[in-house]
Structure 1
Amino acid sequence: MPAFRSVFANPLIHIEKMPSMKSLFRVFFWLLLSGLSVTLVASAGLYLYLSPKLPPVDSLREVKLQTPLRVYSSDGKLIGEFGEQRRTPLKYDQIPPLYIKALLAAEDAEFFEHHGVSLRGLVRAGSHLLKSGQIQSGGSTLTMQLARDFFLTRKQIFSRKFNEILLSIEIERKFTKEEILELFNNKMFFGNRAYGLQAAAQIYYGRDVQDLSAAQYAMIVGVLKAPSAYNPLANPKRAMIRRDWILGRMHKLNYIDQATYQAAINEPNTASYHGTTLDVNAPYVAEMARQEALDRFGEATYIDGYRVYTSVDSSLQAAAQTALIRGLMDYDQRHGYRGPERHLKPSTDQDYNDWLDELQTIPVLGGLLPAAVLEVKPREIKVLLSDSDIVELTWEQGFENLRPYLTEDSRGAVYKAATEFLKTGDVVRIIRDADGNWRFNQVPAVQSALVALDPVDGAIRSLVGGFDFKQSHFNRVTQGARQPGSSFKPLLYTAALENGFTPASIINDAPIVIENTGSGVAWRPENDDGKFVGPMRLRQALYRSRNLVSIRLLRAIGMQNALDSLERFGFNKRDFPRDLTLALGTHELTPLQMATAYASFANGGFKVTPYLVTRIEDSNGRIVYEANPQKVCRSCAQPNQPELDETGQAAQPVTVTNAAPRIIDERIAYLMDSMLKDVVEKGTGRLAKQRLERSDLAGKTGTTNGPRDTWFAGYNPKMVATVWVGFDQNTLLGRREFGSSAALPIWIDFMRAALEGMPEQLRRQPEGIVTVRINPDTGKPAQSGDPDAIFEVFLSEDRGRTASSSLEETEQATLPEELF
């Protein structure tokens, strides 16, 4: 007992026996230190384990964003884009500040305060994990998201998160905040093939990123959370919820005021799919440029951001496209209405949603919109368009002279009422005319091709390979080899002038019968009109396009001479038939080959090679390819002489190293140009003279048997263009169709635009050419006082020579013929 009392009687003795507060603090300190040490050692070990495996963040400076191939016209207009990832990189100062605020409000409000990692965000993410047992958010900053998308994966594992943290810290050390934002907004995926902010603005709103509203910025930012789940096109309801939450965050953080917030919240969802916005409709050109780039750079073509610049002029391309479409529609209307494209089953929906779905699968061709007939009255119809608009068409809107197609040569009687040929559910086509009014029409079955070249260097200035690229990718300019018919004759006449003939030489336009010893069937060639007019001058024979004269001419100069002459125009003579059908243009050639040959007449006798791509730039603007075409250089043989063009005007000097070779003597080229001008002045091409009212036009029509192919190849000294019209199936065009009726109107419409404002280019007469008065019937020098005498041009050494007698002697000896 006493001992027991003494303990409680003396409190000091009790305190010494119990642990002191200082000891407890010391224990806690060492436990904390041990824990931190273990954490640091673990972190250091983890760092040492992960760090060597991390990529160097400096590689971000050299990173190549996958950017599509883009094709441009010569004046910088976009005509094509190719690649799975649509992307248009922006510099930081091009990113709108309001968009940045929307991004920070949604993803990382502390972006400009932290150093790559937000402890608050990580704690919040950890708290969510402890509460739910699942990873709901990763607490990632923008820098961490950038690190993940550039270097890592989206797989939700802890090692990836540690890698994110380490990479983010390193990125923040090496890059400014502005550089990080620039990389982020050019890299991230925004759904619907849109990579980067600018591509997203174009795809969802069809506008530049600078032109969007606060609500639209919030909508785009909302996609980042999950591009499929919050896509305004695929899931508009969820996208709107996400957008409004972001707008609320922006308001809470004082990024926008109350009025802006309220207006943005009330703004409807205006997102809709916008494909690539092209400045110029030139799909055949874009495809040719794509193929050339692919040949040079392989599959990197589609991801390395190459920019291909072509020689095509945007205004000329638009003119060519319009001329071709109008010409084919005019031909089609001359031959009658073929009936509806298809018939839709009766709609089961009062809103016609099933019809709308089907209409949306039918492409717009040449501006012709597909439409479903809703109601038919005798003099009026009502149609439904794919965008759900309803259009009413009266009888005056395309029906007044409508006739049914029977054959290529005949049509039925004019329709009296729409009920005769239409019923509810029929799919038809309508188009707006120049005045903006709707008109009833149909997609032409006939096809065409147009190509225009600069005769000085062969640059392709416009090219249309068919009625519509969506209808057929077949490029008839480069792939559609067809018989050129009489448009081929000038190449043969060139050889004749070089072999002793003159424009005044007399040749007999009379029937010929050529026996075929192999088949036993005689060949009796005819002229297009089935008539024969007897002896005529070579000039007349060309502008009147007489087939029998061409056959006699080929026989006279000899097959080998003719083939050798053709080879210099760029043809392979081994491809041509070695028979007299060659004179009628029976060997198939492409419109581009014909345009190239005619360029030699336009430029005074030089051979140019057509080209399309002028240069290719990489994503940094460095030129990786540049064309070096051969150019016409008339002074190259005489270096001290000033360079003149075909009209005698001063021209840009051209170095000898890229001078185009001369393939036709300058004087022969002048004679041919003179004869081809007469085709336009008073021959089969005179419609061009009547409508364009110019004296510097030359060219030649072409019509093959059937007819199946119609052509016009023509030029002035600044532009050469070739047009072909025919059916892909090589079927008949109709007996009243010729080069002058089907192809020439398209050529005229194009050249009207191409030569607008350009003064006439009158060709300079070269030395060694003389002008002589001749008798038009004999081709010989006229007697003094002859009232019928006309002027003709000759080579100075051929003055007064006709070569008619030598031709007759040659024919009598070698060419069996029967005159009747």
Structure 2
Amino acid sequence: MLKKIVLGLIALIVIGVASVVIWLGSIKSGLPKILEIKDYQPLLVSPVFDRNNKKIGEFFNERRTVVPYKLIPEKVVQAFLAAEDDQFFKHSGINYLAIMRATLANMRAGKNVQGASTITQQVAKTFFLSPEKTFSRKIKEVLLAWQLEENLPKEDILFLYLNQIYFGHGAYGIENASQTYFKKSVSQLTIPEAAMLAGLPQAPSRYSPVTNPAKAKDRQKYVINRMESVGFISKEEAQTALNQNVKVYIREDFEDNAPYFMETIRQVLFQQLGEETVLDKGIKIYTSLDIDLQKAAQESVQQGLKALDKRQGYRGAVKTLATKEDVDKFLQARMKSLILETSPERTILTDGTFAEIQAKKQNNPNTKIPSYMSLNKSYEGVVSLVDDQNGLTYVDLPGTRGVIDFETMRWARKPDGNKKADLDLIKKPSDALKIGDVILVKLQQENVSISRLKNPSELRGFVAVELDQIPEVEGALISFDQNTEDVLAMVGGYNFVRNKNEFNRTIQAV
């Protein structure tokens, strides 16, 4: 009887083992072919240039620039190994000790608090598998990791990993991440910068140095301490890196350069070359556009539409502020916003906070125009005084004070389609404005020059501004080279807004 039981158990074990072997064999037979480095064709950015080889935009699904492994500094590689897989050069694709350590940590915590995937496993998952979390997918990941280690040198696996992973803010791959966050090539990264990038792949949004500096700093500290503990850097190097501030940058946006032209080019290229080629293959696109003429055309269209719109009348203040506290709060907020808009860099201090952004110093210490403001641009300000007797309106702006000459705002009547603009001019500034009004003004000149005033020197501390408003009327402009018929400039409307106002009046309003 006992003999039969033993034989039965042995038979069950044999059947079980055979079933597992057959199951693993079926999974292995269905695995994708392991790629070779020569087969690696990642999604790349297609840059767009004007006729003078100036970059005017990009087309992409993933913003990536592939960099050879030999051009990635050792300390950058070590930062990623410390963060993700410090035993990478010792294991064969699976780190069994890390699996045991993570299992115990997760059991103690009662939830998943620690992972054990190696860089090789992450490459297998990224290139070959879906994101679903199932037992069979995990088995496939392990089998693929073994195959990768058998077929590729360690350096090639790191090459694939560092060029493929996502770093947040539209940046794929280590080179594009370096350019996006630090405005430098990966070959120029410092240890603090490399450690900050190495902390991103685990959770790019959570550890973003642009939006979450405190968490980014904590993650960076972890990576630097790991680099020291595994012997990649000395204690002195670690301390120096931890004590350094890190300057990061907001990603450059090409949307404002020639938006209507870029959208037209995109549609034409999609038809001629196909969407995949344009967005994924990294082709270089050279166009007939002259970006300098384009900027002049955009300025001309906007000013022309504003002039036409003013003939329809003044639609009133943006809002009215009742108290001095409200005015001060508004001006401070606008100043901060303008400084941020004109200062793309942020400095993360050692405590994980952003350094307070200061306005850049002007070369001319006597100028009345702050560094974050420019002539011929429009800004919101608050009316502080309306002087009907002298025909002046005083406006407080973020960081400076302006004066509107009444002669430049006589157009500001209430809109009335039954009256001609030149026959319905206002009689005094208070017909249109009052104290506390938040208005849009155009910065015209640094010095106020009004010949009719008895004491013009009293306005020495003010800048000359004009009442302005965003036009409701639309228009367009297209400029051709008369010899070649090339398009030199294209302005399809007052303002291009992605997914909201893309109507191109140069070609769609015919």
Counterpart AA for 2:228: H
Post-superposition shift, 1:351?
5.0
Q: Give distance in 2, aligned partners of 1:138 and 1:354.
A: 46
Aligned to 1:382: 396
Runs of 5+ consecutive residues of structure 2 not aligned to the other structure: 1-13, 343-374, 388-392, 414-419, 448-462
Contact 2:321 2:437 in 1 (8 A): yes
Structure 2 counterpart of 1:393, from 394, 401, 411: 401
Higher Cα Rg, which structure? 1
Going from structure 1 to structure 2, the CA distance change for 1:285 and 1:265 (only over 3 Å counts) comes to same
Contact 2:45 2:282 in 1 (8 A): yes
Counterpart AA for 1:474: F
Within-5 A mapping of 1:46-445: 47-58=24-35, 61-132=38-109, 134-205=111-182, 208-210=185-187, 212-257=189-234, 260-268=237-245, 270-271=247-248, 273-277=250-254, 281-300=257-276, 301-325=278-302, 331=307, 338=314, 340=316, 342-343=318-319, 351=329, 368=377, 370-371=379-380, 373=382, 380-383=394-397, 390-395=398-403, 399=405, 401-405=407-411, 406=413, 407-410=420-423, 412=425, 421-424=433-436, 426-431=438-443, 439-440=465-466, 442-443=468-469, 445=471
Instruction: Give CA-to-partner distance per residue, 1:605-663, whole Å, 9 cap, x none.
Output: xxxxxxxxxxxxxxxxxxxxxxxxxxxxxxxxxxxxxxxxxxxxxxxxxxxxxxxxxxx
Greater mean alpha carbon deviation, residues 93-102 or residues 280-289: 93-102
Q: Give distance in 2, aligned partners of 1:370 and 1:328.
A: 18
Q: Give distance in 2, aligned partners of 1:315 and 1:95.
A: 36
- Residue identity over aligned pairs, in percent, reads 27
Post-superposition shift, 1:478?
2.3
Q: Give distance in 1, aligned partners of 2:206 and 2:428.
A: 54
Aligned to 2:347: none
Counterpart AA for 2:264: M
Q: Give distance in 2, aligned partners of 1:444 and 1:95.
A: 49
Post-superposition shift, 1:292?
0.5
Going from structure 1 to structure 2, the CA distance change for 1:450 and 1:296 (only over 3 Å counts) comes to same
Going from structure 1 to structure 2, the CA distance change for 1:421 and 1:146 (only over 3 Å counts) comes to same
Aligned to 2:457: none
Contact 1:222 1:230 in 2 (8 A): yes
Contact 1:340 1:428 in 2 (8 A): no
Contact 2:382 2:395 in 1 (8 A): yes
Post-superposition shift, 1:243?
1.4
Q: Give distance in 2, aligned partners of 1:113 and 1:259.
A: 26
Instruction: Give CA-to-partner distance per residue, 1:360-399, whole Å, 9 cap, x none.
Output: 9xx99x984553538557553223xxxxxx332232xx54
Counterpart AA for 1:476: R
Q: Give distance in 2, aligned partners of 1:213 and 1:438.
A: 46
Post-superposition shift, 1:122?
2.8
Within-5 A mapping of 1:1-80: 44-45=21-22, 47-58=24-35, 61-80=38-57
Give the 3-state SS of the residue equivalent to 1:58 in structure 2. Answer: coil
Contact 1:371 1:428 in 2 (8 A): yes
Post-superposition shift, 1:288?
0.9
Post-superposition shift, 1:43?
7.4
Aligned to 1:458: 485
Give the 3-state SS of the residue equivalent to 1:409 in structure 2. Answer: helix
Post-superposition shift, 1:106?
0.7
Give the 3-state SS of the residue equivalent to 1:223 in structure 2. Answer: coil
Cα RMSD between the aligned structures?
Answer: 4.5
Instruction: Give CA-to-partner distance per residue, 1:82-128, whole Å, 9 cap, x none.
Output: 45533333333443444322212211223233332333323323433
Give the 3-state SS of the residue equivalent to 1:170 in structure 2. Answer: helix
Q: Give distance in 2, aligned partners of 1:128 and 1:315.
A: 60
Aligned to 1:808: none
Post-superposition shift, 1:56?
0.9
Post-superposition shift, 1:456?
3.6
Q: Give distance in 2, aligned partners of 1:345 and 1:469.
A: 31
Counterpart AA for 1:373: V
Q: Give distance in 2, aligned partners of 1:346 and 1:205.
A: 43
Going from structure 1 to structure 2, the CA distance change for 1:163 and 1:344 (only over 3 Å counts) comes to farther
Aligned to 2:458: none
Going from structure 1 to structure 2, the CA distance change for 1:179 and 1:458 (only over 3 Å counts) comes to farther
Post-superposition shift, 1:188?
1.3
Contact 1:191 1:227 in 2 (8 A): yes
Q: Give distance in 2, aligned partners of 1:87 and 1:344.
A: 47
Runs of 5+ consecutive residues of structure 1 not aligned to the other structure: 1-36, 384-389, 482-820
Contact 1:372 1:426 in 2 (8 A): yes
Instruction: Give CA-to-partner distance per residue, 1:659-680, whole Å, 9 cap, x none.
Output: xxxxxxxxxxxxxxxxxxxxxx
Give the 3-state SS of the residue equivalent to 2:199 in structure 1. Answer: helix
Post-superposition shift, 1:142?
1.2
Post-superposition shift, 1:246?
1.0
Counterpart AA for 2:408: L
Counterpart AA for 2:491: V
Q: Give distance in 2, aligned partners of 1:166 and 1:196.
A: 25
Q: Give distance in 1, aligned partners of 2:445 and 2:158.
A: 48
Going from structure 1 to structure 2, the CA distance change for 1:177 and 1:169 (only over 3 Å counts) comes to same
Going from structure 1 to structure 2, the CA distance change for 1:168 and 1:409 (only over 3 Å counts) comes to same
Counterpart AA for 2:485: G
Q: Give distance in 1, aligned partners of 2:95 and 2:400.
A: 62
Going from structure 1 to structure 2, the CA distance change for 1:334 and 1:275 (only over 3 Å counts) comes to same
Contact 1:337 1:404 in 2 (8 A): no
Instruction: Confirm or deny that 1:477 pairs with 2:506.
Output: yes
Post-superposition shift, 1:224?
1.1
Q: Give distance in 2, aligned partners of 1:60 and 1:422.
A: 70
Q: Give distance in 1, aligned partners of 2:129 and 2:465.
A: 57
Contact 1:289 1:308 in 2 (8 A): no
Post-superposition shift, 1:338?
2.5
Contact 2:37 2:156 in 1 (8 A): no
Counterpart AA for 2:482: P
Q: Give distance in 1, aligned partners of 2:33 and 2:48.
A: 34
Q: Give distance in 2, aligned partners of 1:47 and 1:351.
A: 67
Aligned to 1:716: none
Going from structure 1 to structure 2, the CA distance change for 1:245 and 1:343 (only over 3 Å counts) comes to same
Post-superposition shift, 1:414?
7.5
Aligned to 2:7: none
Contact 2:378 2:468 in 1 (8 A): no
Post-superposition shift, 1:247?
1.8
Q: How many residues are treated as equivalent by the alignment?
A: 432
Q: Give distance in 2, aligned partners of 1:77 and 1:294.
A: 22
Going from structure 1 to structure 2, the CA distance change for 1:377 and 1:210 (only over 3 Å counts) comes to farther
Q: Give distance in 1, aligned partners of 2:292 and 2:99.
A: 58
Give the 3-state SS of the residue equivalent to 2:138 in structure 1. Answer: helix
TM-score normalised according to structure 2 size: 0.69
Going from structure 1 to structure 2, the CA distance change for 1:322 and 1:207 (only over 3 Å counts) comes to farther
Give the 3-state SS of the residue equivalent to 1:71 in structure 2. Answer: strand
TM-score normalised according to structure 1 size: 0.45
Post-superposition shift, 1:57?
1.2
Going from structure 1 to structure 2, the CA distance change for 1:475 and 1:271 (only over 3 Å counts) comes to same
Give the 3-state SS of the residue equivalent to 2:382 in structure 1. Answer: strand
Instruction: Determine which structure has greater relative contact order: mean sequence separation of CA pairs < 8 Å that are 6+ residues apart, divided by chain length.
Output: 2
